[in-house]
Amino acid sequence: MSVETPERPIARAVAEGRMPGRVWMYANYHCNIQCTYCLTESGPKVTQRALSPETMIAVGEQAKELGFTDLGVTGGETFLMPHMPDTLARLADELPVVALTNGTLFSRRLLEKVEPLAERDVALQISLDRPDADVNDEMRAPDNFRKVVAAVPALVERGITVRIATTVESIEDNELDRLCALHRDLGVPDSEHIIRPIVRRGRADTENLGVTAVQSDLPAELTITDDGAFWGPFGPTVHDDRLDTDLLVTRTTLPLETPARALLGLLEGRPDGDDSALNIR
Ligand code: SF4
């Protein structure tokens, strides 16, 4: 006979695989660059929509209490927030963390600040799309490739776990082979390389790029922003300078149990077999 734990429905749903275990936070929406396919239309002059470090830590603490298993931090460029190295270390006191970054801000000073993360369960996920600087930089920013290729080994040398995320509409086998050879040379193993499609939201939609995804295509990982809680990190995108609310779950973000229960209710209301055919993550 199974033991019912109705007081911990989130923990049970996560343990049984009915709900993803990761909770995402959008730390901010501004960025030092402006990629062609950016979901959030991020750039230097956009509204920051930043979460305070106190809110981020409260989300981390409550996620652990509720029974979630992992945390994710995204943006915008997360390391534009000066508190980020300390906040990531604090979040890792609660749960393992992955933080997304474009990898272009790792000066000697920032490298020193993130060095303590080598002792923590924190991975930095850095974008690198192509093995050739000119092709890579075309959709990202001038000098992006050079900065990433310098930052990755500097982080790896310091003992920090680095993942490489490749976001492309398509990639030829030969180009992918050279990209994989490059990330291995930089010290990142195949197990830490993910390839994902461009999702047609935000600036990608304006630029007619990527795959159209509906709600069931997108991972239902609870995602907290300054404007509310969303169905996954592909939910709180920005288009024409306005936040998309089609995947808004609740305006309330804390206590975290409120959006977590609302998301679970949506998941349990899904028809059987309503799973994604797209490899979006
Ligand atoms: S995709 Fe990432 S690095 Fe590029 S503009 Fe958007 S937030 Fe910045």
- pLDDT tens, 85-126? 999 999 999 999 999 999 999 999 999 999 999 999 999 999
Ligand 1 centroid from CA 219, angstroms = 20
* CB of 36 closer than 6 angstroms to any ligand 1 atom: no
What is the count of structural domains for the chain? 1
279 in any annotated domain:
no
7 in any annotated domain:
no
Ligand 1 centroid from CA 77, angstroms = 6
Q: Band the pLDDT of 278: cuts 50, 70, 90.
A: low
Q: Whose CA is closest to atom 6 on ligand 1?
A: 38
- Specify whether the CB–CB gap between 193 and 230 falls below 8 A: no
13 in any annotated domain:
no
* CB of 33 closer than 6 angstroms to any ligand 1 atom: yes
Higher pLDDT, 254 or 1: 254
276 in any annotated domain:
no
202 in any annotated domain:
yes
Kindly state the percentage of the chain with pLDDT values over 90: 93
What pLDDT score was predicted for residue 126? 98
- pLDDT tens, 125-178? 999 999 999 999 999 999 999 999 999 999 999 999 999 999 999 999 999 999
For the chain, the average pLDDT equals 95
* Single pTM value for the model: 0.94
77 in any annotated domain:
yes
At 74, which CATH number? 3.20.20.70
12 in any annotated domain:
no
**Domain span holding position 247:** 25-262
Q: Band the pLDDT of 272: cuts 50, 70, 90.
A: low
Q: Which two tokens mark 163? A: 């993942």
Q: Band the pLDDT of 2: cuts 50, 70, 90.
A: very low
Ligand 1 centroid from CA 66, angstroms = 31
Q: Which two tokens mark 104? A: 């272009």
Q: Band the pLDDT of 5: cuts 50, 70, 90.
A: low
Q: Could you write out the DSSP letters of every residue in 103-169?
A: S----HHHHHHHGGGGGTTEEEEEE---SSHHHHHHHS-TTHHHHHHHHHHHHHHTT-EEEEEEEES
- pLDDT tens, 44-53? 999 999 999 9
- Specify whether the CB–CB gap between 67 and 98 falls below 8 A: no
- Specify whether the CB–CB gap between 117 and 85 falls below 8 A: yes
Spatial distance between the Cα atoms of 214 and 36, rounded to a whole number of angstroms: 21
- pLDDT tens, 15-42? 999 999 999 999 999 999 999 999 999 9
Spatial distance between the Cα atoms of 21 and 258, rounded to a whole number of angstroms: 16
Most ligand 1 atoms within 8 A of CB, residue of 24, 31, 139, 238 to mutate:
31
* CB of 229 closer than 6 angstroms to any ligand 1 atom: no
- The C-alpha angle 213, 219, 223, rounded to 5 degrees, equals 110
Most ligand 1 atoms within 8 A of CB, residue of 38, 138, 203, 237 to mutate:
38
Q: Tell me whether strands 161-168 and 193-197 are parallel, antiparallel or unpaired.
A: parallel
10 in any annotated domain:
no
Ligand 1 centroid from CA 127, angstroms = 9
- Specify whether the CB–CB gap between 249 and 263 falls below 8 A: yes
